[in-house]
Structure 1
Amino acid sequence: MLLFALFSLLPILASAVNITTYVDVQLAPAQLPPSAAAKNADAIVSAFANLSRNTKWNLVQNITLEGDIGEPEGMVRIGDDRIIIAWGDWIVPTKSYGKDVHGNSIIKDGTDRENGQGYAHLSIFDGTGKRLADTTLNELSDSEYHIGGIDYDGECLWTELSEYRPNSTATIIRVNPYTYQFDPVVHINDHSGGVLHDTKQNTITALNWGSRNATKYTLDSEDLWRAHESKIPNPSFFADYQDCKWLGYPSQFDGERSTALCAGVAAYSIKDSTVSLGGLAIIDVDTMVPLMEVPITLYTPIGTSMTQNPIDVDVVDGRMRLYFAPDQHNGTVYVYEAL
């Protein structure tokens, strides 16, 4: 295995996955549909252009997810009848290394906390929220157990397994949506919390802790990763992106910009309180520059920002439709349309 300064090439070998099925049905449609985000990119960009801080959002559906979903991190829909939730089950919490005599965080090996332990899951639901299967992607002894945002390119699911701390390590994985066997594709010497697959350039862009940086990798024609990467700082501090969906090359940007819809949150200190504000953006994947962005002031009944982690997007009858699943454990997919 060749080691590089920031990442290492991994053999494309399917890894074993622990899967429990609850219903005897296919986990994905016989004919995989295209990504709704990429298929409807022009309509999504056009609808986004009409959003503002004054946009009224209509709750069109609540889908109650069967069973525990721990801490949900990402979501994709494959057609109208398959919902995949990426979620974490934290067994041993992370623990800070504490402060030094000057009040600064103690740093060891570049990070400020112990790693903890846990499991990364992908759970599959039908369109009504019925749980069809649950997969566990790691062993408890594995240091990389934090699953993050998830993307779907019409053929595979893309996500990551990371240490649960900043400035650590991660492995980008490609998942078969029928079997949930996965290929470890590239190993990174940084945390990754989101991933995007550009099917035109055949590149992967990984977002690090808080999406402060993105790292881009190039896949060659032989399905092996080249020793090539580029680091892209995120110029926007409006929200820390948690989950993104690749849109492709919308015509509104002359078909020349690789774009993604990203959602996230940021904590703002206002007087003596802290407010979690959600945000939605369409970004240029190659530069991380937001091309459009808007605040999202929607919260769940228990007070969680709607853009806290999982999101998916579609356009129905000309209206942007957003799918959120921010609440921990007892999960609900909240489906909103912009009026």
Structure 2
Amino acid sequence: MDDQNLIAGFKKLTRSTKWVLKNQIELQFNNYHSQGMVRIGDFFYMSSVELIEWPIRYDQAKQGHDRTSGKGIGHIFVFDRQGKLVKETSLGEGDMYHPGGIDFDGTYIWVPVAEYRPHSQSIVYKMNPLTLKAEESFRVQDHIGGLVREGQNGKLIGNSWGSRKFYVWDSCGRQLLDKENMSHFIDYQDGQYVGDGKMIVSGISELVNPASKSKPFELGGLALIDLFTLETLHEIPITEISPQGHVITRNPVFLEIAAETIRLYAVPDDNDGSMLIYEAAI
């Protein structure tokens, strides 16, 4: 997507921006632990991980890992504006079952599927949205939790576990760059290319909650990032809360311009989640 109005509007957002809930659409299927989302026409494409066995932390690192691989199934769900499941498919291989944030370049949906642990490995797929046929594009020796396709020259920008590092590849998977993420505001979960060499990413940071030691405080946020420098141009906090008590930028988020507002679609809750639609005046 190339939308100068979205970029300009996003730059007007501040921590005082009022986000108004316009609709809550109950999903008519088990969405498991959703990860990334794009809208194509009247349909939403969402990646999700179905956990069969949670990874378990080791007392001491083993073979460079801090936890077991766990077991699961990676899904791509397609649903309509009423929350009805239209079709689905599975993605992954062996221990690589965790899809991340996704992006659509006008032809393909790009999906990273990784092991559910840091410093592991991933497969990058490109998927035909009409047939849901996925083709392996390349592999990465790290956990890639989110992926954005840059529309000017076809570069792919990925982020590692917790988005602590950015990677840049060409369309064949040749690594062009890796760079530490200098922002420690939030961990990026999902993202989208918005034109002019820029992407908008969303995510959360789990902070110590002085009111409840057992449950962290989730601070949400959005950031506009320059894809040439990989530096943050503008970022804002998000604090709106979902029906299950999560900040709304936890995992799948898709943004678009709508008249004089920015519209935000989000699916922050697991298993019996809803798609929440918020708008902010700009």
State the TM-score, normalized to the length of structure 2: 0.95
Decide which of 274, 283, 288 is 2:230's aligned counterpart.
Answer: 288
What's the CA shift for 1:90? 0.6
* Equivalent of 1:148 in 81, 89, 100: 100
Asked if 2 retains the 8 angstrom alpha-carbon contact of 1:149 and 1:310, the reply is: yes
Give the counterpart of 2:268 among 295, 312, 326. 326
Assess, with a 3 A threshold, how the Cα gap between structure 1 residues 225 and 327 changes in structure 2: closer, same or farther.
Answer: closer
Deviation at residue 285 of structure 1 after TM alignment? 2.2
User: Is 1:83 the counterpart of 2:44 in the alignment?
Assistant: yes
Which structure 2 residues correspond to residues 231-310 of structure 1 after superposition, within 5 A?
231-249=178-196, 258-271=197-210, 273=212, 274-310=216-252
Amino acid paired to 2:57: S
Name the SS of the counterpart of 1:168 in structure 2: coil
Q: What residue number does 1:59 align with?
A: 21
User: What is the aligned partner in structure 2 of residue 94 from structure 1?
Assistant: 55
Q: What SS does the aligned partner of 1:39 have?
A: coil
Letter in 1 for 2:217: V
SS of aligned partner of 1:199: coil
Equivalent-residue separation in structure 1 for 2:258 and 2:151 (angstroms): 24
Which ranges in structure 2 are unaligned for 5 or more consecutive residues? none
Q: Which secondary structure does the structure 2 equivalent of 1:46 belong to?
A: helix
Q: Which moved more, 1:54-63 or 1:206-215?
A: 54-63
Task: Write the letter of the residue equivalent to 2:98.
Answer: H
Unaligned runs of 5+ in 1: 1-37, 99-105, 250-257
| 1:260-318 alpha-carbon deviations (Å, 9 max, x no partner) | 01000002225464311001110112333110000001111221110000000111112
Distance (Å, rounded) in 1 between the aligned partners of 2:191 and 2:92: 23
* Distance in 2, Cα, partners of 1:319 & 1:272: 35
Q: Give the conservation status (yes or no) of the 8 Å contact 1:297–1:305.
A: yes
Q: Which moved more, 1:272-281 or 1:59-68?
A: 272-281
Query: How big is each residue's C-alpha offset from its partner over 1:124-158, in whole Å with a ceiling of 9 and x where there is no partner?
Result: 1112111111211246xx11100110101111100
1:186 correspondence with 2:128: no
Name the residue aligned to 1:130. Answer: 84
Structure 1 CA distance, aligned partners of 2:111 and 2:123? 9
**TM alignment of 1:204-219, pairs within 5 A:** 204-219=156-171
- 1:39 maps to 2:40: no
State the distance in 1 between where 2:218 and 2:64 align. 27
How far apart are the structure 2 equivalents of 1:292 and 1:194? 19
The answer (yes or no) to whether the contact 1:233–1:288 under 8 Å persists in 2 is no
Question: Comparing both structures, which one devotes a greater share of its residues to strand?
Answer: 2
Give the TM-score taking structure 1 as reference length. 0.79
CA distance in 1, matches of 2:135, 2:259: 37
Distance in 2 of aligned mates of 1:229 and 1:119 = 30
Cα distance in structure 1, aligned partners of 2:34 and 2:54: 16
Deviation at 1:225, TM superposition (A): 4.0
Amino acid in the other structure paired with 2:192: K
Closer/same/farther in 2, CA of residues 119 and 292 from structure 1, 3 Å limit: same
| Contact 1:232–1:287 (Cα < 8 Å) also in 2 | no
Query: Bigger radius of gyration, 1 or 2?
Result: 1
Secondary structure at 1:210 match in 2: helix
User: Partner residue of 1:72?
Assistant: 34
Contact 1:175 1:183 in 2 (8 A): yes
| Identity across matched positions, percent | 34
Q: One-letter code of the match for 1:309?
A: N
RMSD: 1.3
Aligned position for 1:32: none
